[in-house]
């Protein structure tokens, strides 16, 4: 890509001039797409309501779905909230910088546009050196949802961002593919019991080990979802219809039948299944590796115009729960 808005940066030691340009754009109220360790974010000055409004407009995001605010460290996070319970301190110590987002009651400094009118704000310290460099240079919190159009797949490369939102951003900082691959774990700490709003690579089991007790929130649809909007059932969806199948054999059988019926069908499965078939996408058989490559595999299948993708359900253990969550939502019709 030769677009002047597309800046390639080193993922660990980004060019300070590129970071300064991106920070200046943020300070002017413009949108900057940047890598985090999970997925690419669509960033704007979190304290500027007009800038935040541009995020909703660019994504086509419904105004009731609040944004995650990214900050440099736990001290900055504490400055944006009115309560900091022991569980927040423990999770910040154990997980930040990293893919865990905490929901806490907001101060008036956080615009209502960021929280979609909710009294609490979602905050995290991202672990990507480029995101941290941008936060440091911008000298303000950055609101950033995943840099995709609303309800579409999250981007794990700058090319994904460019194809979804390229003409709507001032700049894209391109540091190559992201490492975690699925969005952060979101934990609500506003009530008497911590609640898991969105599972991620940090699992509920791990959270329980860190803070003792974590309630699970069932996915809902309709109005009940408004208090935890990320629980909207259909989300993270590719263009193709996704159908979950229970095991690799069932996947092969379904693929075979669909092809016989003349459909453009693919199979997304994991090792040690055999690859080589152009209609079969193969992911690693462990959760971190699978998550890292899941969205890129789905983006790739979408680009190849399949109308149905069979997805072999990964193992049932806790380490896979964030992946199960994304697959279930992507497959929901
Ligand atoms: O890994 C990530 O979290 C990425 C990177 C860019 O940081 N961001 C991300 O943002 O996934 P987004 O907007 O795609 O998802 C944010 C999730 C949504 O499910 C949203 O409903 C929830 O966090 N959320 C944000 N603010 C909230 C709040 N005040 N209360 C409850 N849920 C909130
Ligand atoms: Mg998103």
pLDDT score of 176: 98
Check whether residue 143 and residue 250 sit in a common domain: no
Atom of ligand 1 nearest to the CA of 200: 1
pLDDT band at 222 (very low <50, low <70, confident <90, very high): very low
Atom 20 in ligand 1: residue holding the nearest Cα: 230
CB atoms within 10 A of CB 247: 11
Domain assignment present for residue 52? The answer is yes
Check whether residue 262 and residue 153 sit in a common domain: no
Helix, strand, coil percentages for the chain (3-state, nearest 5): 35, 20, 40
Ligand 1 pocket residue status of 145, Cβ below 6 Å: yes
Atom of ligand 1 nearest to the CA of 115: 29
How many structural domains is the chain composed of? 2
pLDDT band at 216 (very low <50, low <70, confident <90, very high): confident
Atom 31 in ligand 1: residue holding the nearest Cα: 228
CATH number, domain containing residue 183:
3.90.870.10
Domain assignment present for residue 230? The answer is no
pLDDT score of 230: 59
Q: How far is the centre of ligand 1, averaged over its atoms, from the C-alpha of 250 (Å)?
A: 34
Q: How far apart are CA 68 and CA 46, in angstroms?
A: 9
Domain assignment present for residue 177? The answer is yes
Check whether residue 179 and residue 262 sit in a common domain: no
How much is the average pLDDT of 145-168? 95
Q: How far is the centre of ligand 2, averaged over its atoms, from the C-alpha of 213 (Å)?
A: 26
How much is the average pLDDT of 120-129? 98
What digits encode the pLDDT tens for the residues 250-295? 999 999 999 999 999 999 999 887 778 999 999 999 999 999 999 9
How much is the average pLDDT of 6-15? 98
The ligand minimizing its distance to the Cα of 38 is: 1
What digits encode the pLDDT tens for the residues 83-100? 999 999 999 999 999 999
How much is the average pLDDT of 187-202? 96
What digits encode the pLDDT tens for the residues 13-52? 999 999 999 999 999 999 999 999 999 999 999 999 999 9
Judged against a pLDDT cut of 60, whether residue 220 lies above it is answered with: no
CATH number, domain containing residue 282:
3.40.50.11030
Domain assignment present for residue 216? The answer is no
Ligand 1 pocket residue status of 182, Cβ below 6 Å: no
Find tokens 């540091």 and name the residue: 175
Atom 10 in ligand 1: residue holding the nearest Cα: 145
Give residue 251's domain range.
241-330
How much is the average pLDDT of 166-188? 97
Domain assignment present for residue 148? The answer is yes
pLDDT score of 223: 42
Judged against a pLDDT cut of 80, whether residue 219 lies above it is answered with: no
């Amino acid at each position: 890509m030769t677009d002047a808005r597309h800046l390639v940066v080193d993922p660990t030691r980004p060019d300070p001039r590129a970071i300064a340009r991106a920070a200046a754009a943020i300070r002017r109220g413009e949108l900057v797409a940047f890598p985090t360790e999970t997925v690419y974010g669509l960033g704007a000055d979190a304290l500027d309501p007009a800038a935040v409004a541009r995020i909703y407009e660019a994504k086509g995001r419904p105004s009731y779905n609040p944004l995650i605010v990214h900050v440099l460290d736990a001290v900055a996070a504490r400055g944006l909230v009115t309560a900091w319970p022991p569980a927040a301190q423990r999770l910040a110590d154990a997980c930040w910088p990293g893919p865990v987002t905490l929901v806490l009651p907001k101060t008036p400094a956080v615009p209502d546009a960021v929280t979609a009118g909710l009294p609490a704000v979602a905050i995290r310290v991202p672990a990507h050196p480029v995101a941290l460099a941008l936060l440091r240079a911008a000298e303000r919190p950055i609101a950033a949802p995943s840099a995709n159009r609303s309800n579409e797949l999250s981007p794990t490369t700058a090319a994904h961002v460019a194809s979804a939102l390229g003409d709507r951003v001032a700049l894209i900082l391109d540091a190559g593919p992201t490492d975690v691959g699925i969005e952060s774990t979101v934990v609500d700490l506003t009530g008497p019991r911590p609640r898991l709003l969105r599972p991620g690579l940090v699992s509920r089991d791990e959270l329980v080990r860190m803070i003792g007790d974590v309630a699970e929130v069932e996915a809902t649809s309709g109005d009940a979802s408004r208090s935890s909007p990320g629980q909207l059932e259909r989300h993270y969806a590719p263009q193709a219809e996704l159908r979950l199948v229970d095991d690799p054999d069932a996947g092969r059988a379904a693929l075979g039948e669909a092809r016989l019926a003349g459909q453009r069908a693919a199979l997304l499965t994991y090792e040690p299944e055999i690859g080589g078939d152009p209609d079969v996408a193969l992911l690693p058989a462990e959760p971190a590796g699978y998550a890292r490559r899941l969205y890129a595999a789905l983006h790739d299948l979408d680009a190849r115009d399949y109308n149905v993708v069979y997805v072999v359900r990964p193992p049932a253990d806790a380490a896979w729960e964030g992946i199960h969550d994304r697959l279930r939502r992507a497959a929901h019709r």
